[in-house]
Chains A and B, each alone.
Chain A
Amino acid sequence: MLSIRNLTASINGTPVLKGIDLEIKAGEIHAIMGPNGSGKSTLGKVLVGHPSYEVTGGEVTFDGKNLFDLEPDVRARAGIFMGFQHPIEVPGVSNAAFLRLAYNKKAEAEGRDELDPLEFDDFIREKIKLVAMKEEFLDRSLNEGFSGGEKKRNEILQMAVLEPRLAILDELDSGLDIDALRVLGDAVNKLMRPDHALLIITHFPRILETIQPQFVHVLSGGRILKSGGPELAVELEERGYDWVLEEAAAGDRR
């Protein structure tokens, strides 16, 4: 589904990604882990076309198409979703109106029927149950004045509305208490389909107890230093990141 080859990217001329290779197939759950400032979030943002980052090399294909030929909104309608670590606030724009527009744009692109406000109302009332969000948040301005946890709920609600084939979730657990994390983790699991894939970006292994990846990658200094199965996450939880970095440094010296 997603194929990343030797991807390099920079921000304001400073290289952040220094050659990433990653293959994600339908039905897979991958976790990218690493210390702060390792380039994890950058990888997600580059994949969805954030304007601050410049792709300096390599290639990424999604369903065989060159991702970098597509505008961010086209990538989104093609089925790539990113749940942001710090979702932006947009005063004055109601959450419900935003969700409906996003839904209808995707429906339009896929040749499905768009929903009028009443139909959408029924639709969204079902969806919010999944993330246990209060209905009042639908009428409020998009993310405005939401707590960190409420913003994350809203991100997963958007994921539920858009049903992306590839969802990239950046630090989903930050700002969430343990109960909320379980609710959102379960919601993400329920949204997973055999033809979908997930890329979980996280600093803490905690979230991986709920959303269990088959593949774990350690990213540091803009490179994937180590890849493994779920056992790698367990090891990282017990031993931290330093040993991976040391191992990699030793490897470089050899």
Chain B
Amino acid sequence: MNATFSGVTSQEYKYGFVTDIEADSVPAGLNEEVIRLISAKKGEPDWLLEWRLKAYRHWLTMAEPEWAKVTYPKPDFQKIVYYSAPRAKAPKYASMDEVDPELRRTFEKLGVPINEQAALAGVAVDVVFDSVSVTTTYKEKLATVGIIFCSFSEAVKTHPELVKKYLGSVVPSSDNFYAALNSAVFTDGSFVFIPKGVTCPMDLSTYFRINNKDSGQFERTLIVAEEGASVSYLEGCTAPQFDTNQLHAAVVELVALDRASIKYSTVQNWYAGDKDGVGGIFNFVTKRGLCKGKGSHISWTQVETGSAITWKYPSCILLGDDSIGEFYSVALTNHKQQADTGTKMVHIGRNTKSTIISKGISAGDSSNSYRGLVKVQPKAEGARNFSQCDSMLIGQTCSASTFPTIEVQNRSARVEHEATTSKIGEEQLFYFQQRGIPAEEAISMIINGFCKDVFRELPMEFAVEATKLLSLKLEGSVG
């Protein structure tokens, strides 16, 4: 192997800094008192506290899932801080001017536009710092067309009937170990409601940041699109670099009524730990969309590059006739990262369609698995699924696995799954070099070619970011 391919050191994680900010935290540990304290701090109604407690009691009866192809020290749930908020005069900033300058600088450094005049105008942003939403932009403008875009805590206060109606309707509080934990202790997140017939005039976005060393992040996002409504939602995440692991156990629920369309895009760049696997986020997330109405459409696009452990299966329940579910994913693992990610497509309604495109890239000593389920229930006449899962391996010490499960109970269904494995070949690289293209640029071009079918689903500015991110993450990995 020639010298160009080696000797380039890995790009440092550039979001690894810690913001020195005074925090209001509850003591570490989990019991009913802590849950009551969180609920009280947020001034929640009784029904929500009861809902949390019910989830907690159920969680106590559950065991951590073991089936994923990941190994990690089990978190000590009594050592986690379940609530941590930047201390401030007001619980929520009315405008940017009130935001703690230190916090503001943090988000400037991260490139997150919490200022409405910022470069990324045209995207409304809800910013979540540890356990709380610190600011939401463009709220008023969106409200003029009836769109509700605010933090989850705020929605509980201002639109309790909507929250009560939809909370847990897609991911029940008893769904799985981490979803139950989230239901018990979730602290904030975003709430989006797009009323009947409204097309959201701008992309909505939430930016998540874990800052506190001992805190877990348990946010909850709920997006409801009424009949004929449509919205595109973006999610970004980073965390400082600590040599301990932080737990992130989020729940995202999407509900699409008749002919509604929700597009949910994620660029996940939580701190992945160092090259020896020290530190990093445990990312155990439950994301599910319910295509409740006829002709509804939910599309997940994810670019997963961070986290020490990723356990995440954004799914679609295709209940409405003619509904469509999509999952587009790029998961990149390097060094000691482990990812077990994929999707579930459950076909219940007639003529439902789903598409799964998954691209896994493994480098270093990492482990990267696609796990999927396509289920066609007996009444799902005419269900169609197409899945394509490709893996690319870079180096001899990583692994790539594909675990698709197909369950079909209707004979009119047509389900197809294909998977291939390739490597960035020495021959490919050499061909590029012979045409004068340096190895690093060749790799980046090949990787982008490999991920093209997913990147084109991302909103433009996210796609550019994702491309850069992958190249950075892979620097020095080939050869």
Contacts and interface: CB of A to CB of B under 8 A. Distances in A.
Interface of A: 48-52, 71-73, 76-77, 81-82, 84, 87-88, 90-94, 97-98, 101-102, 105-106, 109, 141, 158, 162
Given A71-B3, A71-B4, A88-B428, A106 B436 contact: yes
Nearest to A50: B430
Interface string B428-460: 101111111111010001101111100000000
Which 9 residue pairs are nearest across A and B when measured between Cβ atoms? A92-B449, A93-B449, A76-B436, A72-B433, A102-B435, A73-B433, A77-B436, A105-B436, A88-B431
B1 interface: yes
Contacts of B435: 73, 76, 81, 98, 102, 105, 158, 162
A92 B452 contact: yes
B75 interface: no
Q: Per DSSP, are chain B's interface residues mostly helix, strand or loop, or mixed?
A: helix
Max chain B C-beta neighbours (<10 A), residue from A49, A92, A158: A92
A92 B3 contact: no
A77 B433 CA distance: 9
Nearest to A48: B434
Contacts, number: 87
B288 to A, nearest CB: 30
B445 A97 contact: yes
Contacts of A98: 432, 435, 437, 445
Interface range on chain B: under 10, 10 to 19, 20 to 34, or 35 or more?
20 to 34
B277 to A, nearest CB: 30
B449 A91 contact: yes
Contacts of A77: 436
A52 B425 CA distance: 12
A102 B432 CA distance: 8
Nearest to B426: A51
A72 B3 contact: no
Interface of B: 1-4, 422, 425-428, 430-439, 441, 445-446, 448-452
Nearest to B4: A71
Contacts of A73: 4, 432-439
A97 B436 CA distance: 14
A181 to B, nearest CB: 23
B433 A71 contact: yes
A72 B450 contact: no
A93 B445 contact: yes
A75 to B, nearest CB: 8
Contacts of B426: 51-52
Contact of A92 (B1, B441, B446): B446
A98 B441 CA distance: 11
Given A51-B2, A105-B441, A109-B436, 13 more contacts: A71-B433, A72-B434, A73-B438, A81-B434, A90-B446, A92-B449, A92-B451, A93-B445, A98-B435, A101-B437, A102-B432, A102-B436, A105-B438
B436 A162 contact: yes
B441 A101 contact: yes
A73 B437 CA distance: 6
B335 to A, nearest CB: 25
A102 B2 contact: no
26 contacts: A49-B2, A49-B433, A51-B426, A52-B426, A71-B438, A72-B430, A73-B432, A73-B434, A73-B435, A73-B437, A76-B435, A84-B434, A90-B431, A90-B449, A91-B449, A92-B448, A93-B445, A93-B449, A98-B432, A101-B437, A101-B441, A102-B432, A102-B435, A105-B438, A105-B441, A109-B436
A101 B441 CA distance: 9
Contact of B445 (A49, A81, A88, A101): A101
A152 B180 CA distance: 60
A94 B2 CA distance: 26
Contacts of A92: 446, 448-452
Nearest to A97: B445
A105 B439 CA distance: 12
A82 B4 CA distance: 20
Max chain A C-beta neighbours (<10 A), residue from B4, B434, B445: B434
B39 to A, nearest CB: 50
B449 A141 contact: yes
A87 B435 CA distance: 12
Given A51-B1, A88-B425, A92-B446, A105 B431 contact: no
Contacts of A82: 434
A97 B425 CA distance: 19
Given A71-B4, A88-B427, A90-B428, A76 B449 contact: no
B338 to A, nearest CB: 26
A51 B434 contact: no
Contacts of B432: 73, 90, 98, 102
Given A71-B3, A101-B445, A91 B450 contact: yes
A103 to B, nearest CB: 9
Nearest to B431: A88
A92 B432 CA distance: 14
Nearest to A164: B436
Nearest to A106: B436
A158 B452 CA distance: 23
B339 to A, nearest CB: 21
Nearest to B2: A51
Contacts of B446: 90, 92-93
Given A102-B435, A158-B435, A72 B449 contact: no
